[in-house]
Amino acid sequence: MATLGLRADEQEAIEKFRREAVEPSMTSLVILDFWAEWCGPCKQLTPILEKVAADYADRGVVLVKINVDEDKFIAAQFKIQSIPTVYALFQGQPVADLSSARTESQLTRTLDQILAQLPVQGEATQREAEIEPLIAMGEEVLAAGDGPRGANIFRQILDMAPEHPAALSGLARALLAAGETDQAREALANLPEGLETDPAIARARSALALAEIAPSAETGELEQRVAGNPDDLQARFDLAEAFTAGGDRDRAADQLLEIIRRERGWNDDAARTRLLQMLEAIGLEDPWAAAQRRRLSEILFG
């Protein structure tokens, strides 16, 4: 907004707007709420805007309220004709009209869409940038088989971000690798609301389910039963469980895939469920998991 030829009060209004809205919008997403004391719908919308702005503060969302009676010059610059009018401002430019979003769900859905497209820098974004390489380090250590060291790394991450799902998952899986099944189970209990269905948590739960399979000291008898009767699918499944408990994932996968090949839905799809748990626990992008997925697809769709 140019200030040349403006009255002192108008210049003051522009300076205030620049300070309170434009400058923060250089890195944050500023919600501009044009309102007035006499506006009934404004009073209904205000608590919703305040709550959502507070919830999204760490993602870089800032609420700036502009009273159209007190800031007539700014309202005129935005050509405000009715209120409430709500705009999203980023880097000094309006990027969205939020006026039609009158409920919390509508507003959050719209903000999620906007934030996914803009390089808004909130505390959460900065924290994630700091944590991401630490998560990668922890996963690398865990992949190398060092459960105790991996657990220490993930604990340090959780000190920074106590509810980070990837760190919670990593800690649980590291504890399992260290043989601390009870501690891993405890780490996955009483999770913060909303994390139960997170893919990272699902991965850790699958790893826990596999770790809780009772170890079998002898597979010879089961192998004899399978050799004597290849259609003894329960014996095959028990053999796969024994291989899993013993850490022989290749032979376990072979038996599970053979069960699926012989009878896809056997025992409420137990073989496929266990195989998918194995793949999820290892990581769906892992080369071994990818190879088993291809084998499964060939059986199901070949």
- Quick check: is 42 catalytic? yes
Structure tokens at 36: 């007035």
- How far the first Cα of the chain sits from its last, in Å, is 65
Are the beta carbons of 66 and 35 closer than 8 angstroms?
yes
Are the beta carbons of 32 and 21 closer than 8 angstroms?
yes
Are the beta carbons of 211 and 180 closer than 8 angstroms?
no
- The active-site residue out of 21, 30, 31, 39 is 39
Structure tokens at 46: 């205000």
- The active-site residue out of 42, 83, 188, 253 is 42
* Cis preceding-peptide flag for 84 (omega within 30 of 0): yes
- Quick check: is 116 catalytic? no
Are the beta carbons of 75 and 24 closer than 8 angstroms?
no
DSSP helix/strand/coil, 105 = helix
Structure tokens at 255: 């038996």
Catalytic residues: 39, 42
